[in-house]
Chain A
Amino acid sequence: MSYPRLLRRTLLYMGVTAFALWVLIPIFFIGISSFTPRNEIYAWPKPIIPSHFSLDTMEFFLGSYGVLNSLLNSVWVALLTLSFTLAVGAPAGYAVARFFFRGREAFRLGILITRMFPTALLAVPLAVTFIRWGLYDTLVGVALIHTAMALPFAVIITTGIFMGVPKDLEEAAMTLGCSRFGAFARVALPLALPGLAAAAMFTFVISWNEVFAATILTVNNRTLPAHILTTIQASPLYFRFAGGFFMILPALFFMFLIRRYLFHMWGGATAER
Chain B
Amino acid sequence: MPSPSFSLNIGLMEARLRKFLGTDTLLSYWLLLPTLVFIGVFFLMPLFNAIMLAFRADNGAFTLDYFKKMVADVRFIETLKYTFLLAVTIVPLQLITALAMALLVNTGFRGSRFFLYLFALPLGISDLAAGLIWLSIFTQHGFLNSILYSLGIIERPIYFISYQNIGLTFLAVVVAEHWRATAIVLVILVAGLQMISKDYLEAAEVLGARGWRKVWYVVLPMLKPSLQSALIIRTIFALQTFAVVLALAGDIIPVLSGEAYFWHFLYRNSHIASAYAVFLMVISIGMTWFYLRFLRSRMEVIRG
Contact = CB atoms under 8 A, between A and B. Distances in A.
Contacts of A163: 225, 303
B201 to A, nearest CB: 9
A19 B239 CA distance: 25
A102 B157 CA distance: 62
B31 A256 contact: no
A1 interface: no
Interface string A175-210: 101011100000000011011011001100100110
Contacts of B60: none
Interface residues of A, number: 112
A27 B125 CA distance: 9
A255 B116 CA distance: 11
Interface string B97-134: 10011001101110011011111111111111100111
B124 A205 contact: yes
A66 interface: no
A247 B129 contact: yes
B43 A148 contact: yes
A268 interface: yes
A72 to B, nearest CB: 17
A113 B116 contact: no
Contact of B4 (A30, A152, A171, A252): A171
A99 B113 contact: no
Contacts of B149: 45
B45 interface: yes
B25 A101 contact: yes
Nearest to B25: A101
Contacts of B158: none
Contacts of B265: 120
A67 to B, nearest CB: 15
Given A12-B104, A208-B124, A209-B127, A265 B119 contact: no
- Name A's interface SS: helix
Nearest to A27: B121
B249 interface: no
Contacts of A165: 195
A266 interface: yes
Given A117-B50, A144-B42, A161 B122 contact: no
Interface string B135-146: 011000111011
B3 interface: yes
A126 B46 CA distance: 6
A19 B104 contact: yes
20 contacts: A48-B143, A95-B31, A112-B232, A116-B236, A116-B240, A116-B281, A116-B285, A118-B257, A120-B261, A121-B50, A121-B270, A148-B39, A179-B8, A195-B191, A202-B188, A241-B136, A244-B128, A254-B124, A255-B117, A267-B108
Interface of B: 3-4, 6-11, 14, 17, 24-25, 27-29, 31-32, 34-35, 38-39, 42-47, 49-51, 97, 100-101, 104-105, 107-109, 112-113, 115-129, 132-134, 136-137, 141-143, 145-147, 149-150, 157, 179, 183-184, 187-188, 190-192, 194-199, 222, 225-226, 228-229, 232-233, 236, 239-240, 257, 260-261, 264-265, 270, 273-274, 277-278, 280-281, 284-285, 288, 303-304
Kindly list the 8 A-B residue pairs having the minimum CB-CB distance in the complex, ordered from nearest.
Answer: A251-B124, A45-B146, A116-B284, A148-B42, A244-B129, A209-B126, A95-B31, A125-B46
